[in-house]
């Protein structure tokens, strides 16, 4: 799965953090690297089949263990 997110504005004291929510509600976070207002992520492996939702939030610099900042987007995923 490739995700490309555009229109991201850099913040000096915050990072964008991507959150992957699995079907069992387990959550994994990863900081987004922004270049020219965009970020691209490649996600591979069998875990992709277990994704329920992908969302992002603005977190303190360096990220958080769980989401604490405002959400910037949410994508609900459907499996057939």
pTM value surpassing 0.95: no
Q: For the chain, which residues make up each domain, given as ranges? A: 2-76
> Is residue 16 within 8 Å of 72, Cβ to Cβ?
yes
- What share of the chain in percent tops pLDDT 90? 86
Task: Compute how many other C-beta atoms are within 10 angstroms of the C-beta atom of residue 26.
Answer: 10
pLDDT for the residue numbered 46? 86
Pairing status of strand 2-6 against strand 38-42: antiparallel
Which of 54, 57, 60, 48 has its CA nearest to residue 74? 54
Cα–Cα dist 56/73, whole Å: 6
């Amino acid at each position: 799965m490739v995700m490309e997110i555009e229109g991201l504005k850099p913040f000096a004291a915050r990072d964008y953090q991507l959150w992957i929510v699995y079907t069992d509600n387990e959550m994994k976070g990863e900081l987004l690297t922004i270049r020219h207002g965009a970020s691209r992520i490649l996600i591979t492996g069998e875990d992709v089949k277990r994704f329920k939702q992908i969302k992002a939030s603005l977190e303190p610099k360096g990220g958080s263990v769980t989401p604490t900042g405002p959400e910037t987007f949410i994508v609900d995923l459907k499996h057939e």
